[in-house]
Amino acid sequence: MSEQDLEDFRKEVQNWLAENCPEEMRQPMDSQDICWGGRHWKFSSDAQKIWLERMVEKGWTVPEWPKAYGGAGLSKAQAKILRKEMKRIKARPPLLSFGIWMLGPALLKYGSDAQRQEHLPKIARGEIRWAQGYSEPDAGSDLASLKTRCEDRGDHYAITGQKVWTSYADQADWIFVLVRTDFSAKKHEGISFILVDMDQPGVTTRPIKLISGNSPFCETFFDEARAEKHNLIGEINKGWTIAKYLLTHEREMIGGMGGDVMRPIGDIAVQQIGKGEDGRLQDPILRADIARMEIDGLAFMATMDRITQQAKAGGGVGANASMLKYYGTELNKRRLELMMDSAGSPGLVWGGEGDVASQWLRTKANSIEGGTSEVQLNIIAKRILDLPSQ
Amino acid sequence: MSEQDLEDFRKEVQNWLAENCPEEMRQPMDSQDICWGGRHWKFSSDAQKIWLERMVEKGWTVPEWPKAYGGAGLSKAQAKILRKEMKRIKARPPLLSFGIWMLGPALLKYGSDAQRQEHLPKIARGEIRWAQGYSEPDAGSDLASLKTRCEDRGDHYAITGQKVWTSYADQADWIFVLVRTDFSAKKHEGISFILVDMDQPGVTTRPIKLISGNSPFCETFFDEARAEKHNLIGEINKGWTIAKYLLTHEREMIGGMGGDVMRPIGDIAVQQIGKGEDGRLQDPILRADIARMEIDGLAFMATMDRITQQAKAGGGVGANASMLKYYGTELNKRRLELMMDSAGSPGLVWGGEGDVASQWLRTKANSIEGGTSEVQLNIIAKRILDLPSQ
Amino acid sequence: MTSKEEMEMLRASASGFLGEKAPISQLRRLRDDKIAEGFDRETWTEMGAMGWAGVLVEEAHGGVAMGHGAAGILMEEMGRTLTASPFLSSAIMGAVALSKYGNASQQEGWLPAIARAQKIIALAVDEQRHHNPAHVKLQAVRAGNGFKLSGEKCFVADCAAADGFIVSARTRGEEQDPDGITLFLVSRDTQGISVENQNMIDSRNAGKVVFDDVALEGDAVLGAVDKGLAPLNIILDAGRAGLAAEMSGAAQECLDRTLSYLKERKQFGQTIGSFQALQHRAAHLYSEIEIGKSIVARALQMMDSAPEMAALMVSAAKAKLGQVALLAAQESIQMHGGIGMTDEFDIGFFIKRVRVADALYGSQQFHTNRYAELRGF
Amino acid sequence: MTSKEEMEMLRASASGFLGEKAPISQLRRLRDDKIAEGFDRETWTEMGAMGWAGVLVEEAHGGVAMGHGAAGILMEEMGRTLTASPFLSSAIMGAVALSKYGNASQQEGWLPAIARAQKIIALAVDEQRHHNPAHVKLQAVRAGNGFKLSGEKCFVADCAAADGFIVSARTRGEEQDPDGITLFLVSRDTQGISVENQNMIDSRNAGKVVFDDVALEGDAVLGAVDKGLAPLNIILDAGRAGLAAEMSGAAQECLDRTLSYLKERKQFGQTIGSFQALQHRAAHLYSEIEIGKSIVARALQMMDSAPEMAALMVSAAKAKLGQVALLAAQESIQMHGGIGMTDEFDIGFFIKRVRVADALYGSQQFHTNRYAELRGF
């Protein structure tokens, strides 16, 4: 596509957004303003509903997906323009979901055309909300030791077992699950990837209350839950390949949250603590800690850019996703520790000052979810540094 | 011994020192003023010679050793008084040596009376200078894998192999060596502890130049070196017990060097860098680092005292020697890094300002010699925290 | 002073009592039941009966006068069980304030009741988001024989249950002037005092106290008029040393619980405690905690032997233990993995308490800076 | 600006040349032979022939004008081999100073010779133990048409071989006054200049330069009278970004050598690189180095695109790389064990160079503080 074509596209996007993005959807949002979609979704406003419908119609909830599956078939360059233009007018995302982030990419890569046809458009339109069923109580870092059993019952599969850390499973419609289909094979070789409708008696969920007081995750129990045979993705017993793909994908996303690390906390500290006559933050020790943290934050952001660009040039991010995930999440933890240090006593009150305490506690999970920091360090040591196993 | 007896002893010591410690021996010393003794020792002054002779006569070079072996048979309380009184008048130690620190304690614990009789008085009198032969090129952290061969030749043993990190071996007269006497046994069970006269053609030494430019260590080569049979200490093949005892002993000594950690570096920095109008060190970032380092130094010193007192109350220091060694040496490295930071460019010149650069480089060995930090952490994990092996 | 043996007996009895009567499940219940006072009255009464509340009160006033070393042992054990009580506010800081600076009628009126856990004192000192005892705006204006107090204090621990407040007020000078600060002992029921509880992350009680034209007699002054900052710092140092002791107990408990988990949890076919990287981190944490305990012991000794000279050691201890306890809490969550993030599991209570304990009466940054200032650099 | 492909070609050719002609053994020989200049003339001449010395000089003056990104690649590769040369002093800082602030006769007189490695410029800026460019006592007093310079500079890198010095002098105001600093370009052979080499731990040349009533013409001024501090900081920022690049190369080399050793050394019957604790430390170090490289690249980009606005990024890079390279050097000695402490083994050369590179033109503490000041806190 020529520069001119892209410029035309930009104009078209600008015009369309100007006309179609409701004013209310251009306001700053917090977590309860997110539109997750799903069978039981209650729109928080007419504007939210209209905005989703209009974007769905354009295929812009999933702009790079093929038109056949509810997308707009945009090129990377076009999609970037769309993102930029939306950001320029501060348009809220019309729809967020694990379907868009996780299952969609997996189906596009490993699904059959029929499977894509069945599931992708519903994701694009926000009709079905998805959860992820990976970890189990005894399969955390060692995910491949999972035991959820999936048995062939002729015309369908029956699933029995327990998953944990299933995000918002209590509000989800369907779940993509890693299951064991062969108990006699080596642990990585008996795993399959399957889609399960949660609207059945065999599936129950229970929210997990976290130390932050919130419950974004659930335990999900399968008791002879039914899955249709055509909903097994890829080959049977080859689900680990898909799992690994999605883990790397997830890692990049979580590492990407490191974007937060550069929200300038020096400025926040100046507001909260004030400066002395010498123009320096009045807490000299905290000042040193914040300066070091900000420098690492700058360096990390520059690394995200550099590695993303290298990836675009070919070869992908590879095992460096582990490095980004490790460093970004540890940095974010440091950042929130310093936010707490800066906030002082108002930060120790639940719900006080941007709820910094909840944010702080939430970050402690960053270095656990999507593979712990220790797992990432193992991966770096083995795959990048080529150090031997014991 | 009653309080009154101790008071009388203190008076006696005071009087004796006042009369007998030469004025020159009460001046601050640096490393070239140390008296190491030995066959080829050249006294740096008459005063050094007289001071040694007088102290030897009193048995006060090794005050707690029995009189029969050249000591004074003092109780712990008396020895403490002697140390205190010497410190009060700033008396230099009359004699330092690996014989006093290392071999002496080993012989007192594991030697026969004849062996003690032969070697201890010469150590006490500074007549024989000892070196330690432990590490080998392929047996560092894994000391027990040592390969220096010791063969029975009927009336004597013949030793062949190579030792490294033998302190000042080029100036030593005798060496205590860990050798393998049984190559078929398990690695800890074929090791013996033996004393070797270095004044023979079968023993040669070569100084190792260090990154600091100094050469306190040597390589020592044994080529059919002769050792008398009566100079094997303890039982044959049971030398590992003695080695372990001395390693713990050495660890405590090196950890004890942590005493350095509290030489107040904040004051040095103030001298070197100056204070601003706010009364604070002019480098605000370094100030934060130094304050944290000093606090850890205070805490570490308090820990040395606490654990030494616990040890006196019975039970010994035990595996906590590893904790002290680990923490003390890492702290000392941090301390010298900050000394370099504070010194600025004059610290980057060889021999500049108290030769801080050499000291700084020297500290890098602290966490390697006497068992690396990694080995100490392994010991803490296994012996104190009771964590399982793989 | 108390003998080594008595100390060890005290520790054993405290550990037994707290483990049985006031374990973490008690704190969880206090939280879930939204008990405004933030502690269990019955447990506190029992602590009083055992003499704990009088640990720093002279025998003449009904205490047991065992000293700061003993108080530190109790704090350390309470740190292990995260037992909530007004011990720090009342039995440490309240007792020190009244014993050292109270007049005869203040002492008689309060000390015996403090020692028996019948009355509770809370310290109202902070006015800004960060601790800074020299920053006092709350005004005390002379009125007749006495004073009128107007202003606000925040982050007042145990304000909900307090029967009396020790308040720092400005009787002269500007906001940051070290001179011109006066301490007052004020009964809770005095006209014009209102208390606003806050929902703290450690589930204990703290909040704001507003003084609206509170009229006091002249004998409400604690110590000397205008000269309150030095006494206040000694009162605070007693509390800071106590908090350091509490954090050392909390850190040790985090380590112990983590070690148990490491020995039990299996991944990749192995006990995770056999992984060397985790072993080294646990061994490092062990070392830090040991180092921390020693400096706490020193600070407590100094509070017993020469409290006027204890500031350096107390700040070192408070700064070090803030750092160590946060490290311990963070490492314990990380090594527990996902389960450590769940509210159902007790480990998360530690990080929340440690954060509050670190901030209370000066964060690690505050005390690192104070240490450097006291050292003259 | 130089294309990606040209950059990669430059890196490959630099790596090849340095590995063959100027490996660490060259530095060892320079040290052992006590070569006062601290670098190898022949190698430097070859660098000139390859165009390296003119990397920042315009083509009109005989350079190749490839920019700071290219200069950074050369510094990074020289950091890997610890190649000593006056590249930083002359080809980076000297070239920037003259290109940006030199008058026509200064440019014509020096730039072509700099670009061909025929003349060497050194920067004489520090007067105290710590870098502080605003602190200038060295006096430049007006005398006739020109100036007389009196005073001393220390830690002047490459002073032994310098043909000319860029000197910061005070033409007005007090010691710390940012205003009143003037830069001069002074030929080495001017009457009154004496140089005293010091025996530096990195085996390169640096020393003191004394100016004793040095008489200069008015056209020896570089840039504007009294307004030298801002230009000086841009010249310094070029050097600082270069040093950060050098330290990133040194850090990477330390890691690479350590990884090789970890894969080869056996203890306890295992390759020590299989121990998880060492793996995690190596992986952490790898991450830090990657992070460090990115900020160096940013700083170099800024020097190319908007040098007046590069200060923040340059200080971030210099501070970060000082920290990362010292970590890398320390970890590599520790992981090599005893052998890492011996002079015979090359790894010890890195820690000594990194220490000097960290201190030169501002330590990590200096730049962390400068970063915070530029950020306004």
DSSP string, A288-353: HHHHHHHHHHHHHHHHHHHHHHHHHTTT-STTHHHHHHHHHHHHHHHHHHHHHHHH-GGGGBTT-G
The interface residues of chain A toward chain B in range 275-294, judged by CB-CB distance below 8 A, are 276, 278, 280, 284-285, 287-289, 291
Same domain, A157 and A264: no
How far apart are the C-alpha atoms of B101 and B124, rounded to whole Å? 11
All residues of chain D having their beta carbon less than 8 Å from the beta carbon of residue C277 are: 276-277, 279-280
| pLDDT of res. A254 | 67
Q: pLDDT at position D154, please?
A: 98
Total count of domains within chain D = 3
Q: Which residue of D has its CA nearest to A298?
A: D295
Q: Looking at the structure, tell me whether residues D69 and D81 fall in a common domain.
A: yes
With H, G, I as helix, E, B as strand and everything else as coil, classify residue A145. helix
DSSP A200: S
Contact C239, C124 (CB under 8 A): no
Range of the domain at D30: 4-119
Q: How far apart are CA C80 and CA C256, in angstroms?
A: 10
Residue with token string 């020792």: B41
Q: CB within 8 A of B91, min separation 6: which ones?
A: B17, B21, B25, B26
Final residue of a structural domain among D96, D119, D142: D119
Output DSSP code: residue B210.
B
Question: Nearest CA to CA, how far is A124 from chain D (Å)?
Answer: 36
- Residues C12-23 have a mean pLDDT of 97
Do B91 and B173 share a domain, yes or no?
no
Q: What is the CATH number of the domain that holds A298?
A: 1.20.140.10
Same domain flag for A153 and A264: no
- Those of residues 202-241 in B touching chain D at CB distance below 8 A are 208-211, 213
Q: In D, which residues are within 8 Å of A271 by CB distance?
A: none
Nearest to D201 among B140, B289, B357 (CB): B357
* Torsion sign over Cα B375, B379, B385, B388: positive
Residue of B337, B344, B342 whose CA lies nearest to B363: B337
B15 touches chain D (CB under 8 A): no
Q: Is B218 helix (H, G, I), strand (E, B) or coil?
A: strand
Its pTM stands at 0.93
Query: How far is it, in rounded angstroms, from Cα C121 to Cα C98?
Result: 10
Clarify whether residues C159 and C259 are in a common domain: no
- Of residues A114, A349, A78, the one with CA closest to residue A231: A114
Q: Assess whether B269 and B362 both reside in one domain.
A: yes
Q: Spot the catalytic one: B85, B136, B219, B250.
A: B250
pLDDT of residue A9: 96
- Best residue in B275, B278, B290 for a mutation probing chain A (most A CBs within 10 Å): B278
Token representation of residue D65: 């004008």
- For residues B226 and B274, membership in a common domain is answered with no
Partner residues linked to C196 by β-bridges: C208
Q: What is the distance, to the nearest Å, from the Cα of residue A168 to the centroid of all Cα atoms in its chain?
A: 12
Can you give the CATH number for the domain in which A207 is found?
Answer: 2.40.110.10
Q: Is the pLDDT of residue B277 over 70?
A: yes
Same domain for C291 and C180, yes or no, is: no
User: How far is CA C152 from each of CA B160, C141, C170, C235, D339, rounded to the nearest angstrom?
Assistant: 82, 15, 12, 20, 64
Per-residue pLDDT 10s for chain D (377 aa) are 578 899 999 999 999 999 999 999 999 999 999 999 999 999 999 999 999 999 999 999 999 999 999 999 999 999 999 999 999 999 999 999 999 999 999 999 999 999 999 999 999 999 999 999 999 999 999 999 999 999 999 999 999 999 999 999 999 999 889 999 999 999 999 999 999 999 999 999 999 999 999 999 999 999 999 999 999 999 999 999 999 999 999 999 999 999 999 999 999 899 999 999 999 999 999 999 999 999 999 999 999 999 999 999 999 999 999 999 999 999 999 999 999 999 999 999 999 999 999 999 999 999 999 999 999 99
pLDDT of residue A310: 83
A115 falls within a domain: no
> Residues D293, D259: one domain?
yes
Q: Which of C79, C98, C119 is the last residue of a domain?
A: C119
Task: For residue B37, count other CB atoms closer than 10 A to its CB.
Answer: 27
A250 catalytically annotated? yes
Lowest mean pLDDT segment, chosen from A211-215, C74-78, C190-194, D157-161? A211-215
Q: How many domains does chain A have?
A: 3
CB-nearest partner of C295 from B269, B280, B302: B302
CATH of the domain at C201: 2.40.110.10
C131 neighbourhood in chain A, CB within 8 Å: 344
Burial call C313-336: b when 16+ CB within 10 Å, e when fewer: bbbbbbbbbbbbbbbbbbbbbbbb
Residue of A nearest to B284 (CA): A284
Within 10-39 of B, beta carbons closer than 8 Å to A belong to none
Q: Are B367 and B263 in a shared domain? A: yes
Q: What is the pLDDT of residue B260?
A: 57
Q: Output the pLDDT for position D1.
A: 54
Q: List D221's β-bridge partners, or say none.
A: D184
> Measured between alpha carbons, how far is C248 from C244 in angstroms, rounded to an integer?
6
Average pLDDT value for residue range B176-194 = 96
Shortest CA distance from B286: residue in chain A = A288
> Chunked in runs of 10, what are the mean pLDDT values of chain A (390 residues)?
91 97 91 91 95 97 96 94 94 94 95 97 97 93 94 97 93 97 95 97 95 92 97 96 88 63 83 94 98 96 89 80 94 96 97 89 93 96 95
SS3 for D271?
A: strand
Task: Say whether both C178 and C235 belong to one domain.
Answer: no
Q: Quote the pLDDT of residue B256.
A: 58
> Which of C199, C349, C365 has the CB atom closest to A285's CB atom?
C365
Q: What is the DSSP letter of A67?
A: G
Chains C, D: CB contacts within 8 A come to 10
B225 or B317: which carries more pLDDT confidence? B225
User: Which residues are CB-contacts of B305 (< 8 A; sequence separation ≥ 6)?
Assistant: C294
Cα–Cα nearest to A361, from A333, A342, A341: A333
Confidence at residue A309, expressed as pLDDT on a 0 to 100 scale: 84
**CA B134 to CA B113: how far, in whole Å?**
24
Residue B52 located in a structural domain: yes
- Point out the domain boundary residue: C70, C87, C119: C119
- Strand, helix or coil for residue D27: helix
Chains touching chain B at 3 or more Cβ pairs under 8 angstroms? A, C, D
Provide the residue range defining the domain that includes B290.
257-384
Residues A332 and A276 in one domain: yes
Same domain, A267 and A376: yes
Query: For residue B254, what pLDDT is reported?
Result: 67
Angstrom distance (rounded) from CA D291 to CA D252: 12
pLDDT of residue A259: 53
- Would B301 be classed as within a structural domain? yes
The minimal CB distance from A278 to the residues B278, B285, B289 is found for B278
Is there a contact between D277 and B210 if contact means CB atoms under 8 Å apart? no
**What confidence score (pLDDT) does residue A262 get?**
60
C interface with D, Cβ–Cβ below 8 Å: 275-277, 279-280
Backbone angles phi and psi of B208, in degrees to 5: -105, 125
Radius of gyration of chain B (CA): 23
Are C257 and C314 found together in one domain?
yes
Examine the domain organization and report whether C16 and C128 are in the same domain. Answer: no
* End-to-end Cα distance, chain D: 34
B337 contacts on D by Cβ (under 8 Å): 326
Task: Let me know whether C281 and C343 are in one domain.
Answer: yes
Q: Are residues D134 and D114 in the same domain?
A: no
Q: Do residue B278 and residue B369 come from a single domain?
A: yes
Q: Is B270 a domain residue?
A: yes
pLDDT of residue C4 exceeding 90: no
Residues of chain D whose C-beta is under 8 A from some C-beta in B? 126, 128-131, 154-155, 198-202, 206, 266-269, 275, 277-278, 326, 330, 333-334, 337-338, 340-344, 348, 351-352, 355-356, 359, 363-366, 368-369
User: If interface means Cβ-Cβ distance under 8 Å, which residues of chain D face chain A?
Assistant: 259, 262-263, 270-271, 273-276, 279-280, 282-284, 286-287, 290-295, 297-298, 313, 316-317, 319-320, 368-369, 371-373, 375-377
Both tokens of A69, joined, read: 């599956």
